[in-house]
Amino acid sequence: MDMVNLRTAIEQMDREIVALPAPSSELHDAWSKLVGALALEPAQATRECPHCGKVGMRAATLCGYCWKKLVPPGEADRCGETASPASVA
């Protein structure tokens, strides 16, 4: 099972436990221990490749599918900036 499916399953179980009329504290404690033992890291941020449209890691500098160079996050905004008329001499 990949991490996305595992996270989805955990979220679904969380919703199911909360929806129970009177979940036992033992069930809640056991579930919390199991989720803690899995030690899942937060999901990493992703973005779409502007060239091929596939989803990859946000911090990537190359697309893992089409191998085209990607502008690092944060620099994309600066790349599109144009000089304001006041700053042009």
Taking only the tens place, the pLDDT of each residue in 43-68 is 788 899 999 999 998 989 999 999 99
**Per-residue model confidence (pLDDT) at position 62:** 93
Residue of 49, 79, 55, 53 lying closest to 4 (CA atoms): 55
Residues 34 and 65 in one domain: no
Residues 33 and 67 in one domain: no
Helix (H) or strand (E) holding 38: helix 25-38
Residues 57 and 86 in one domain: yes
Find the largest Cα–Cα distance for the chain: 73
Residues 53 and 33 in one domain: no
The overall pTM is greater than 0.75: no
* Two tokens, residue 89: 């001499």
CA atoms within 13 A on the CB side of 61: 1
**Residue-range definition of the domain harbouring residue 66:** 45-89
Domain count along the chain: 2
